[in-house]
Amino acid sequence: MLIFFYRILSNLLLIPIFLFFLTRFLLGKETLKSILQKFTIYKSSKLNVLNRKVVWVNAVSIGEAKVGILVAELLKEKYKSLHVILSTSTITSFKILEKYQKKFTIIYAPIDISIIIQRFIKIWEPSLALFVESEIWPSTFSILKRNSIKLKIINARLSKQSYLNWKKVNFFSSELFGLIDQCIVQDKNSETRFKDLGVKKITKISNLKYLQKEPKINKNDLKEFSSRFKNKFVVTMFSTHEGEETFFIESFKKLRKKINNLIFVIIPRHIERTERIQSLLKKESIKYSIRSNKNSYLKDSNILLVDTFGELSLFFKLSKIAIVGGSFVKKGGQNPIEVSFFKCPVLCGPYMYNFSEIIDEMKKNNAGMMVLDQKELEKKILYLKNNDFERIKLANNFTKLCEKRRKRTNQLIKNVFESSNV
């Protein structure tokens, strides 16, 4: 009953929400294409999916989008005639998905407004909806159920705070979570939380990000930066969040006095923050280069600021150490699994609660280092600089750990698809 009223309210808010997105467009946070598709207005028809079974995979942002691709490819491998629609919400993740548009239909996800979702279902007619990780949308879930479309949450994860928030509105959440046909969870904590909130069928596998394949690297870029970074000790900080760059810049200032060939690479989680990071570097009078601007490349610059998409693998390949962003501020950390392909040890801060199971395995297998603060981070970087054997051992252990989990996870997810009746 409460979901019914939510749906009515969402319809009433259609015009204010449209105006909100129009404001985002004027601020450069949306494109015309993203707004039109979020309101289910498409240029092309759906002729390419006629007479074919359709599965809708929804992945809100970058990390989820990568999992969405993995799942979409596994589905196509098993069901050749299947058509997969991959939807996402952010411009950044859409750019990552675009390269797969020959294989799948790539669109922006519809807004959780009842009449919008009804229109979406009418256009695409999916037989199964797979939502990645932690996307919970009342109107969408309700309308999928009304149309007898199976709903599964894959690589499902629910943080402690999100769980507590949903428990506060148990009168609403029990009805909402009961609409989910199955949760394929990535850790024990999420399994317990989804069950307590009312999901009946739960399958624990592991983090599906273990299934990602080794990313391809542009050979020309690799050649260029291998030359630039020759005989340098490169430390890459990836997916950094607000507050972490200040922290890392301070560490750099201290470490360069002890490591004369030190290079820091900073890759922010959101590249629109690049100007803010440049301001910090200028304030500290540190010479730096910008990845997208070759005119900014300075021979004696010791920091490279990466403001381009999809180049993590390039810099992991070139690095001696990779530091996990989002783990030194309370963001829960970012996924470190991609690093495992490049024989590069992982360091992370104290706030890795979004990846607690991976971190536990890293600790058990001596496959990475966790530090508590800036001072300890500096000590570990210096230690690994002076101990090649330990650095290589950490990297190899992490690679072996991920390879082992990859094989197990691949078999388990295939078993799940066997029983999906897609």
Confidence at residue 49, expressed as pLDDT on a 0 to 100 scale: 53
What mean pLDDT do residues 71-81 have? 85
Judged by average pLDDT, the poorest of 59-68, 297-306, 401-410 is: 297-306
3 versus 65: the higher-pLDDT residue is 65
CA pair distance 46, 125, nearest whole angstrom: 10
pLDDT in tens, 186-233: 888 899 999 999 999 999 888 888 888 888 899 999 999 999 899 999
Question: Domain boundaries in the chain?
Answer: 50-204, 219-405
pLDDT beyond 60 at 46: no
Contact call for residues 101 and 127 (beta carbons, < 8 A): no
pLDDT in tens, 161-171: 899 999 988 88
pLDDT in tens, 270-304: 888 999 999 999 998 888 999 988 776 767 788 99
CATH class held by domain 50-204: alpha beta
Q: What is the mean pLDDT of the chain?
A: 89
Tokens of 83: 């058509």
Cα–Cα distances (Å) from 340 to 46, 263, 282, 287, in that order, read 39, 21, 33, 30
Q: What fold does the segment set 219-405 form as a domain?
A: Rossmann fold (3.40.50)
Contact call for residues 252 and 237 (beta carbons, < 8 A): no
Which residues make Cβ contacts (< 8 Å) with residue 215, sequence separation at least 6? 312, 313, 338, 341
Q: Do domains 50-204 and 219-405 have the same CATH topology?
A: yes
Contact call for residues 368 and 396 (beta carbons, < 8 A): no
